[in-house]
């Protein structure tokens, strides 16, 4: 009930449409009750002293019945349309809301999540809301109104026979309660298995190159097959429970019909009921039991929707670790002076990364961060962009703690060229201008020239309008890196971070990337995180990290002369 109420609260924009759907249901129900009354009047007319003079009355009743059915169809159409209009709009808005929420969650949230599972929650679980809004609730309301209305009419026709009609109702309700307790967990498992299957499919398609390269097609196929058949088993569990439940309910209600027909027949023989009353009672009896069947059948849609809603709301209730303070400062333009002061950071308690590190990056300088693998070089970039916060100590920008700066304005001061470049499936121009959508073509070309990628682009048949493919699959590693540099340069931010920008490119591409970096030196604050030390020799300062923190810092020549960790790393790369 909590999930249903929360979902209805989310639907508050569409209360008028939902109210129209409910009004249509009420009108449909009321008109639906007129049919048996008109038919019973016709039977009373035909079984009395019927003559040709009564034919106009029959025609009148037939026209009334025809009008009833036509008006009933109109109200049903209106009710269905407004219910579906509200339902699919709610689904669309919840998907957008969920997506926007996912965009704002911190990177720590995604550390143990699968993309396919999240996609299933956004797409599949939200689709279950349509079942609730457009089917379960309207069907339940319609059935409830009909059951109550018919019950009153049955009591009016013959109270004792009506009481016999009600005998199956408590048994159906008790059985439905038992069924709900059994089927609800089954629906939850079904939704989870669907998410697992989507997660494996997404992983396998994303890693298809590696699967083919290592000849793991059979293993990947087996994994997907296992998840698919686990999903099938979950579906069949739901089907089995429903297959037992629905015939059982129909059988219980059928016994009620047998009881009513038996006792009603005896009462008719004793003259306690007229033929018209019996026909009218039996017609209303079908109207009484049919919606009861629909009512209990709606339990399936209701529970399936709630199972999906719980997964959706569990995602919406996740809170980002990194949030703006209420009084966060919005920076217009930063100088670019960065300081790490006694910073300690762990991804988890068992994996220490940075331990009490301190160093400064003066505004307008080029500072390199180097060290062996796993000492936290890339983590420093994540702290600068506030994807994570230090466990202790602080990082400042122009003397202001990053925690006191709004996230949007902080990230507007920083551009990052990552090691693993992500390009969107669009044109080269669109990808370069991603950080500045309003950029003109001349600005895009200038950024590309600065990144030494313009000459390559002009060799393409479509030039800057050439498509890069999904994740930039149509470009080489070096081309993607230089495209990322152009994208970062176009934003023209005071701080530029190169995170292992030359780690996976050839010597020619590395040389061009180094040229691009050197030409930027002095114009803005450059933070160069590198494994290849040839990239950082001209840095104003080199910060060397090891497992104990900052091992040493200074210029290239000074660190070589000291003969410490940096000198050993250089010697290793030369050899």
DSSP string, 381-405: HHHHTTSS--SEEEEEETTEEGGGB
Contact 249, 293 (CB under 8 A): yes
Tokens of 345: 């950071």
| CA distance linking residue 447 with residue 415, whole number of Å | 13
| CA distance linking residue 60 with residue 62, whole number of Å | 5
| CA distance linking residue 168 with residue 259, whole number of Å | 10
Residue closest to 340 by CA, chosen among 382, 374, 305, 288: 382
Query: Contacts for 59-65 with beta carbons within 8 Å, 24 or more apart?
Result: 64/34, 64/38, 65/35, 65/38, 65/39
Q: Both ends of the chain: CA-CA distance in Å? A: 69
Which residues of the chain form CATH 3.40.50.300?
A: 338-574
Q: What residues contact 338, with CB distance under 8 A and at least 6 apart?
A: 360, 361, 384, 395, 396, 397, 495, 525, 527
CA-to-CA dists, residue 246 to 128, 169, 241, angstroms: 21, 14, 9
Residues in the chain with pLDDT < 50? 575
Quickly count: other Cβ atoms within 10 Å of residue 113's Cβ: 15
Tokens of 432: 């370069």
Does the 338-574 domain belong in CATH 3.40.50.300? yes
Name residue, tokens 């009354």.
37
CA-CA-CA-CA torsion for 429, 434, 438, 439, nearest 10 degrees? -50
**R_g (Cα) of the chain, nearest Å:** 36
Element (H, E) at 542: strand 541-546
- Bridge partners of 344, per DSSP, are 392
Contact 242, 183 (CB under 8 A): yes
Quickly count: other Cβ atoms within 10 Å of residue 54's Cβ: 13
Q: What's the pLDDT score for residue 339?
A: 93
- Bridge partners of 361, per DSSP, are 338
Backbone angles phi, psi at 394, to 5 degrees: -155, 160
Query: What is the SS3 assignment for 80?
Result: helix
Quickly count: other Cβ atoms within 10 Å of residue 419's Cβ: 19
Which residues of the chain form CATH 1.20.1560.10?
A: 2-316
Q: What's the pLDDT score for residue 536?
A: 79
Q: What's the pLDDT score for residue 434?
A: 85
Tokens of 247: 């015939």
Considering Cα of 380, then 381, then 384, then 385, what sign does the dihedral take? negative
Tokens of 394: 């602080």
| CA distance linking residue 575 with residue 571, whole number of Å | 6
Q: What's the pLDDT score for residue 210?
A: 65
Query: pLDDT per residue over 40-76, tens digit each?
Result: 666 666 666 666 666 777 777 778 777 877 888 888 8
Q: What's the pLDDT score for residue 397?
A: 92
Which DSSP symbol is given to 12? G
Name residue, tokens 């079942």.
131
Contact 10, 94 (CB under 8 A): yes
| 282 burial type by CB count under 10 A (0-12 exposed, 13-18 middle, 19+ buried) | middle
Span 2-316 CATH architecture: Up-down Bundle (1.20)
Q: What's the pLDDT score for residue 37?
A: 67
Query: What is the SS3 assignment for 539?
Result: coil
Q: What's the pLDDT score for residue 506?
A: 62
Q: What is the largest CA-CA distance in the chain?
A: 124
541-546, strands of its sheet edge to edge: 414-417, 495-499, 525-529, 366-370, 541-546, 549-554
Q: What's the pLDDT score for residue 396?
A: 92
Element (H, E) at 497: strand 495-499
Q: ∠385-390-393 over CA atoms, to 5°?
A: 120
pTM (2 d.p.): 0.72
DSSP E strands in 312-365: the ranges are 338-348, 351-361
Which DSSP symbol is given to 372? S
């Amino acid at each position: 009930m909590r999930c249903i109420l929360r979902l209805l609260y989310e639907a508050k924009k569409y209360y008028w449409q939902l109210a129209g759907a409910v009004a249509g249901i009420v009108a449909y129900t009321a008109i639906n009750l007129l049919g048996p009354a008109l038919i019973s009047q016709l039977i009373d007319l035909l079984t009395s002293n019927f003559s040709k003079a009564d034919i106009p009355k029959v025609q009148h009743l037939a026209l009334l019945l025809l009008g009833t059915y036509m008006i009933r169809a109109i109200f049903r159409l209106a009710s269905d349309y407004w219910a579906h209009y509200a339902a699919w709009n709610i689904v669309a808005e919840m998907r957008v809301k969920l997506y926007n929420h996912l965009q704002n969650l911190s990177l720590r949230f995604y550390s143990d999540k699968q993309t396919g599972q999240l996609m299933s929650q956004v797409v599949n679980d939200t689709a279950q809301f349509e079942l609730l809004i457009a089917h379960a609730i309207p069907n339940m309301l319609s059935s409830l109104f009909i059951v109550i209305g018919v019950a009153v009419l049955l009591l009016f026709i013959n109270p004792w026979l009506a009481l016999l009609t009600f005998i199956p109702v408590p048994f159906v309700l008790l059985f439905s309660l038992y069924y709900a307790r059994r089927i609800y967990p089954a629906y939850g498992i079904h939704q989870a298995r669907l998410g697992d299957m989507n997660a494996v499919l997404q992983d396998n398609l994303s890693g298809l190159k590696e699967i083919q390269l290592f000849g793991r097609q059979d293993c990947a196929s087996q994994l997907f097959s296992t998840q698919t058949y686990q999903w099938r088993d979950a579906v069949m569990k739901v089907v089995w429970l429903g297959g037992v439940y629905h015939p059982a309910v129909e059988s219980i209600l059928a016994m009620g019909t047998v009881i009513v027909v038996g006792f009603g027949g005896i009462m008719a023989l004793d003259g306690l009921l007229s033929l018209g009353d019996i026909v009218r009672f039996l017609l209303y009896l079908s109207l009484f039991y049919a919606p009861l069947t629909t009512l209990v059948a709606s339990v399936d849609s209701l529970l399936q929707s709630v199972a999906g809603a719980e997964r959706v709301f569990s995602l919406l209730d996740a809170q980002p670790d990194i949030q703006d303070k209420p009084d966060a400062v919005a920076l217009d333009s930063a100088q670019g002076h960065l300081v790490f002061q006694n910073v300690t950071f762990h991804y988890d308690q068992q994996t220490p990364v940075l331990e009490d590190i301190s160093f400064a990056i003066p505004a307008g300088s080029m500072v390199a961060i180097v060290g062996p693998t796993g000492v936290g070089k890339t983590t420093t970039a994540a702290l600068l962009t506030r994807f994570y916060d230090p466990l202790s100590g602080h990082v400042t920008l122009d003397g202001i703690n990053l925690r006191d700066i709004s996230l949007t304005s902080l990230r507007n001061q920083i551009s990052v060229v990552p090691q693993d470049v992500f390009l969107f499936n669009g044109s080269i121009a669109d990808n370069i201008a991603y950080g500045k959508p309003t950029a003109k073509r001349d600005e895009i070309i200038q950024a590309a020239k600065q990144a030494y990628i313009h000459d390559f682009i002009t060799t393409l048949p479509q030039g800057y309008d050439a498509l890069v493919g999904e994740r930039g699959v149509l470009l080489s590693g070096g081309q993607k890196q230089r495209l990322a540099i152009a994208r970062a340069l176009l934003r023209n931010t005071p701080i530029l971070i190169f995170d292992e920008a030359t780690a996976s490119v050839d010597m020619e591409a590395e040389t061009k990337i180094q040229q691009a970096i050197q030409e930027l030196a002095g114009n803005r604050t450059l933070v160069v995180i590198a494994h290849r030390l040839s990239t950082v020799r001209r840095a104003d300062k080199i910060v060397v990290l090891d497992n104990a923190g900052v091992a040493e810092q200074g210029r290239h020549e000074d660190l070589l002369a000291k003969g410490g960790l940096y000198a050993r790393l250089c010697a290793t790369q030369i050899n």
